Amino acid sequence: MMLAIPDVLSAEQVRQCREALERATWHDGRHTAGHMAIHVKANLQLAQDDPLATQLGEFILERLSATPRFLAAALPLKVLPPRFNCYTGGGAYGNHTDNAIFTLPGTSLRIRSDLSATLFFCDPDAYDGGELVIEDTYGSQRVKLPAGHMALYPSTSLHQVTPVTRGARLAAFFWIQSLVREDHQRAMLLELDDAIQSLATDVPENPALARLTGVYHNLLRHWADT
């Protein structure tokens, strides 16, 4: 399930983040690539210990905790601190699958990557190329979202970023370990949650609401991996 989550950041928050990133010190992104990905990765990244990366990452985590759509779709258990990249001058990232396990920086804690996320800081007309192309069971999905919007998709997906031939594509990217490991189960829970929310708006006194809510929580209880 690929999901676009709108308005994680406001226009003013995007502007502030982008201005800070435009003044940042960038490094060759291949330094963080695995032995396979290094051959297809050509971008720039902030160092993980850069104070700006820490500051912006903490801010994004705060915003995610206040974004109901993200919470409903991801059912997050652990979120790896966001990282930041820049694609420009033909920069691209060929087809790859994200690592299955990440270590939380500065700790021995490990995070299983169930979901990958890309938060865009630049509007689509600010650069040419730079599409996030995700392969799923229904074929390729090409994603290029407005600034402040976020793409959320299974980390098991084969995906790439196409070459940026004009301008610069700035984004945050990170991984989530969900309470529910399987993508199809998360998708069913989200669909059920959406139906409950719609019913609660249209007919709030309907007695079926309590029963459906019970089904949702019982499924979550059955599938949750804590």
Helices 183-202 and 208-223, axial angle in degrees (round to 10)? 160
Residue 225, marked binder = no
DSSP class of residue 30 equals G
**Burial per residue of 102-136, b for 16 or more beta-carbon CB atoms within 10 angstroms, e otherwise:** beeeeeeeebbbbbbbbbbbbbeebbebbbbbbeb
Q: Determine whether the annotation assigns residue 222 to a binding site.
A: no
Half-sphere exposure of 53 (CA within 13 A, CB side): 21
Residues that constitute the known binding site: 96, 98, 159, 169
Residues that constitute the known binding site for 2-oxoglutarate: 169
Residues that constitute the known binding site for Fe cation: 96, 98, 159
